[in-house]
Amino acid sequence: MSVSFILHDDPFVQFEAWYGEAEANEPAEPNAFTLATAAADGRPAARMLLLKGLDHEGTPERGFVFFTNTQSRKGDELSQNPAAAMLFYWRSLGRQVRIEGRAQPTSGAEADAYFATRPRISRLGAWASLQSRPLLARAVLEGRLADMEARFPGEDIPRPSNWSGYRLVPTRFEFWQNMPYRLHDRTVFIAVSGGWTQGKLFP
Catalytic annotation, residues: 182
Nearest to residue 88, comparing CAs of 1, 176, 162? 176
Q: Are 90 and 25 in contact, with CB atoms under 8 Å apart?
A: yes
Separation CA 26–CA 23 (nearest Å): 6
- Beta-strand relationship, 64-69 and 163-177: antiparallel
Q: Is the dihedral of CA 187, 55, 116, 67 positive or negative?
A: positive
Amino acid at 92: S
Centroid of chain to Cα 21:
18
Contacts of residues 131-138 at CB distance under 8 Å and 24 or more positions apart, as own/partner, are: 131/68, 131/69, 131/71, 131/72, 132/69, 132/71, 132/72, 132/73, 132/74, 132/76
138 three-class SS: helix
